[in-house]
Chains A and B, each alone.
Chain A
Amino acid sequence: MDLINAIKKGDLITRASALVMGLGNILRGQIIKGILYLAAEIGFIVFMALYGWQCLAALPGLGSREQGEIWNEALGVYEYVQGDNSLLILLYGIAVLFIATGFICLWAGAVKSAYTVQVCREQNKHVNTFAEDVKSLFDKNLHKLLLSLPVTGILIFTILPLIFMIAMAFTNYSKVDGHLVLFDWVGLDNFKQMFDVSGSLGKTFWSVLGWTIVWAVFATALNYILGMLLALLINRKGTKIKGFWRLIFILSIAIPQFVSLLVMRSMLSQDGIINVMLKNAGLIEKALPFFSNATWARITVIVVNLWIGIPYTMMQVTGILQNIPMELYEAAEVDGAGPIVRFFKITLPYMLFVTTPYLITTFTANINNFNIVYLLTKGDPVLSGSTAGKTDLLVTWLYKMTVDYQYYNLGAVIGIMTFVFLAIGSLLVYRRTKSYKDEEGFQ
């Protein structure tokens, strides 16, 4: 809006600044600022002419030259020609789009700045010197100073890769038909393939999605309720040495997860210590199929997750539980409510009310819980011919698809579907919570 206003109301010099950035600033006394704008424009034009334009031009076709040897008539030898690499073309193309977007923002800033100086001159107001502009970075414009580096980091290491991966979902970048170096845009084909229930890929997708949801619901709900019960058990009046109990349980989450999960895996394996001990005690004849039977493996994953999740919930809710007004319990006791009624009528509703955001975060974390499945079962047991195992979640399947099988395009589709699924669910719930609406309620 400011930009349109600036172009509409600006005089000739201001409008010319839209072509030659910084002109208005230079002519009206902000020389250093103007030169910086101008330098940025020249730099951008040079960059686009030398590299940027080529990258953008190659983006729609993603390159077609294969690498190989070409006969050179003049020298009479075969010459090695480096072919196109679609992946790099895509990456550079997107990076150039990013730089161009950044430049457009800078350009809008330059035009607005030119207009601001014009207004200041017309009304005989003070025009900021360069030193004053720099000073304002520590006061009025502190957010620009503080945010510039972190936001650049997020742009390069989160948003750029993400867009790059999303773009991949619309290509045929996979080892199928040897499209690992050269690949093309294929539109929505990958999505169609994924949703097609009759195809093998579609079947795998829906079954993995089903298990992911079952897993996330069980893992979140069981951990939440059992963790709260444990916290109540430790918090209750009669319990001695509360700190000691808490420490014991927290220990299991304090050690790195990859250590504890790898230990669990070796303990539960075919001839791991648990099977050996059960056999020695004469309780079983054959080893229990903790990881080789689909149902057993699924239950094992959920149970092992309790081992990590219960202490975690306990730790998170202990403080909140102590905030529940005692009068509520006392009144309920007078009315003759037993401990179970009190838990379901007072504790649980109160906790649900306060910890909804926490529950959403846990649910999201469980959907994306890579460690537990990958370190514990690696997704096993796998039916032959399928790319996903019976305990694979969408995320571990994504990992396998990209790293093990090199179906980069399908991996990207899985990632996008995970996101869509999570976004719809949690955004809806999150926007209803109090903490979002009354962000500044208590400031």
Chain B
Amino acid sequence: MRRKKKIKNIGVHLLLSVLAIIWVSPLFWIVLTSFRAQKGAYTSSFFPKEYTLNNYIKLFTDTQILNFPKMFGNTLFIAVVSCIISTFFVLSVAYCMSRLRFKLRKPMMNIAMILGLFPAFMAMVAVYYILKAIGLSEGAMIRVALILVYSGSSGIQFYIAKGFFDTIPKSVDEAAMLDGATKWQVFTRITIPLSKPIIVYTVLTTFISPWVDFIFARVICRANAEYYTVAIGLWQMLEKEYVDNWYTCFAAGAVCISIPIAILFILMQKCYNESMSGAVKG
């Protein structure tokens, strides 16, 4: 019996190892490519023949054609601002839907759900023309336009935060209100301090989205390479005219972006799990 169990355990671990190799190999491959000395997309072996750091150096110093440091700066700026706005929007809406009672609450929640069913970028072309009509489609205003696109309608994604607020016992609010606190004070002094995991979760999700979106960024930046975000920049490196010279740099860029994003993502997941287990542990 014990022997049988041992064999089974070994089998499971072997299976997991094989799966793990399948799952990690593309990641491993991109890291290897980023250190490859030989240029171009084509390669004849899994492991490079020579290793070099030049791809990283070129990525950060060769700013003539594709200015990666600038793209990085653009994205960081856009991500920080839109993350602040979105977090504020999401938390406000979630609190209203969870705690306050008003006539339009149920209709609003239903509308939010229905809107979620439309393909997100169906309205992309329309958004571009709206931004153009209010004069945000040229020059430095492109950054403002991107911030608005990422944060403007973020209030609609309130469901997870609302679910979290729902787990905070109402008796806490009631006790505070008996002591004469206004609803605003309940929101800022009681709900917010109790909601650390969901706030961190919201901050991280909204911070990550500008880094990984390339659909909206491409439509809004068009040919204005000065305002590109990293996602379009990396996409650009794989286009026909650049791919031969920039393929290994793409790998280097992908590694540079993926490491911080992956760390943030794992942090975010931790907060998500924490917040799913409720606000006040009984």
Task: Give A contacts to B, CB under 8 Å.
Answer: 87-88, 91-92, 138-140, 142-143, 145-147, 149-151, 153-154, 156-162, 164-165, 230, 233-234, 236, 238-240, 245, 247-260, 262-264, 266-267, 269, 271, 273, 276-277, 280, 307, 311, 315, 319, 364, 368, 370, 394-395, 398-399, 402-403, 408, 411-412, 415, 418-419, 422-423, 426-427, 430, 440, 442-443
Contact = CB atoms under 8 A, between A and B. Distances in A.
Contacts of B44: 276, 280
Contact of A370 (B121, B156, B231, B254): B121
Contact of B269 (A138, A315, A370, A395): A315
Among B129, B152, B154: residue with most chain A CB under 10 A: B152
Contacts of B5: 238
A147 B93 contact: yes
A399 B125 CA distance: 10
Contacts of B122: 162, 165, 398, 411-412, 415, 418
Q: Which 10 A-B pairs have the closest CB atoms?
A: A150-B155, A161-B123, A161-B126, A157-B152, A254-B262, A415-B122, A138-B184, A255-B258, A146-B92, A254-B265
26 contacts: A150-B155, A154-B152, A158-B115, A158-B153, A161-B124, A162-B118, A164-B123, A164-B126, A233-B15, A236-B12, A238-B12, A250-B269, A253-B265, A255-B254, A256-B211, A256-B212, A256-B261, A262-B234, A266-B41, A267-B29, A273-B46, A399-B121, A411-B125, A412-B122, A415-B118, A443-B166
Among B42, B95, B231: residue with most chain A CB under 10 A: B42
A290 B113 CA distance: 37
Interface residues of B, number: 87
B120 A143 contact: no
Given A91-B133, A256-B261, A271-B42, A139 B117 contact: no
Given A254-B262, A254-B266, A419-B118, A273 B29 contact: yes
Interface in B37-71: 41-46
A88 B133 contact: yes
A256 B255 CA distance: 10
Interface in B61-99: 89-90, 92-93, 95-96
A91 B92 CA distance: 30
Nearest to A137: B184
B24 A251 contact: yes
A255 B130 contact: no
Contacts of B95: 146
B155 A418 contact: no
A153 B151 contact: yes
A373 B192 CA distance: 40
Contacts of A234: 16
A323 to B, nearest CB: 11
A259 B234 contact: yes
Contacts of A138: 182-185
A442 B170 CA distance: 11
Contact of B184 (A142, A263, A276, A423): A142
B119 A256 contact: no
Contacts of B116: 364
Interface string B6-42: 0011001101100110111011011000000000011
Given A138-B183, A157-B149, A264-B26, 15 more contacts: A156-B130, A156-B153, A161-B127, A161-B130, A162-B122, A233-B12, A238-B8, A250-B269, A255-B258, A255-B265, A277-B45, A311-B23, A399-B121, A411-B125, A418-B119
Contact of B96 (A146, A236, A443): A146
Given A154-B156, A156-B152, A248-B24, A266 B238 contact: yes
Q: Is the interface of A mostly helix, strand, loop or mixed?
A: helix
Interface of B: 5, 8-9, 12-13, 15-16, 19-20, 22-24, 26-27, 29-30, 41-46, 89-90, 92-93, 95-96, 100, 102, 105, 113-127, 129-130, 133, 148-149, 151-156, 166, 170, 182-185, 187, 211-212, 214-215, 219, 231, 234-235, 238, 247, 250, 254, 257-258, 261-263, 265-266, 269, 273, 276-277
Contacts of A140: 183
A139 B16 contact: no
A237 to B, nearest CB: 9
A167 B238 CA distance: 36
Nearest to B30: A263
A48 to B, nearest CB: 18
Contacts of A157: 127, 130, 148-149, 152-153
Nearest to B188: A138
Contacts of B29: 263, 267, 273
A258 B234 contact: yes
Nearest to A249: B23
A251 B262 contact: yes
Contacts of A230: 19
B13 A254 contact: no
Given A142-B100, A153-B154, A443-B170, A259 B46 contact: no
